[in-house]
Chains A and B, each alone.
Chain A
Amino acid sequence: GNSVTQMEGPVTLSEEAFLTINCTYTATGYPSLFWYVQYPGEGLQLLLKATKADDKGSNKGFEATYRKETTSFHLEKGSVQVSDSAVYFCALSNTGRRALTFGSGTRLQVQP
């Protein structure tokens, strides 16, 4: 079946530090991959996505590259801000299942 594994948090960084949140997946076929962000007290918002191997998704300074050979979709940002503090979820969509499979989430705390 499908599964997504994320690094456990919390991840605590100082402002302007480099961010990496690791995500690996197991899936049949060719899934689409997503990063969602959840700010305190809110629902999930799509941060970025990639639909085929070697695609790079990017948004608001965040990037992730779909690596089929390593089944990974790691999230990176060159310089984090306090406003990036949130929980980040890696997810995949497999057309056979018609639903998202989520990782457990990684809480990011950015200190000024």
Chain B
Amino acid sequence: NAGVTQTPKFQVLKTGQSMTLQCAQDMNHNSMYWYRQDPGMGLRLIYYSASEGTTDKGEVPNGYNVSRLNKREFSLRLESAAPSQTSVYFCASTDKVMGAYNEQFFGPGTRLTVL
């Protein structure tokens, strides 16, 4: 039982390049999330998917797109990377318990640098 996995662990891009961050979970959770972590700002929600087939914007969606490929996988795409997107990206998943959302389980993160 691997929990939440993310690839790659590290990536360096040049401004304008594109890439996709991959995330998968094996806990049969319905809901999945992408966050970015920047120094002194905690984690901020980029996009989330409440269930398979649905996606919604979070606090900081500009410059990103997402795909909920199936129940297990939720990918984050940067179409044209900018230095402001240098950050650590975390994927998370959760499910409802007694009608409320429970704690989230996090992947190990992807450290992205955009030059």
With contacts A98-B48, A99-B58 taken as known, whether A51 is within 8 angstroms of B106 at the C-beta atoms is: no
Q: Number of contacting residues on A, CB 8 A?
A: 21
List the A side residues contacting B100 at CB < 8 Å. 32, 51, 93, 95
Q: Is the interface of A mostly helix, strand, loop or mixed?
A: strand
Q: Which residues of A contact B44 (CB under 8 A)?
A: 102
The answer to whether B42 and A98 touch across the interface, beta carbons within 8 angstroms, is no
On chain B, the residues within 8 Å of A44 by CB distance are 43, 90, 92, 106
B13 proximal to A (CB < 8 A): no
B67-115 residues with Cβ-Cβ distance < 8 A to A are 90, 92, 99-109
B42 pairs with A103, CB closer than 8 A: yes
**Bound-state Cα–Cα, A105 to B103, Å:** 17
- A99, B41: Cβ atoms under 8 Å? no
The interface residues of chain B lying within 8 Å CB-to-CB of A100 are 33, 43, 45, 92, 104
The verdict on B31 contacting chain A, using a C-beta distance below 8 Å, is yes
Could you tell me the distance between the alpha carbons of A44 and B104 in the complex, rounded to whole angstroms?
A: 9
- Say which residue of A32, A99, A104 sits within 8 Å of B45 (CB atoms): A99
Bound together, the chains give a CA A51 to CA B25 distance in angstroms of 25
A42 interfacial by beta-carbon distance below 8 Å: yes
Contacts of B42 in A (CB 8 A): 4, 89, 102-105
Give B residues with C-beta under 8 Å from A. Answer: 4, 31, 33, 40-45, 48, 50, 58, 90, 92, 99-109
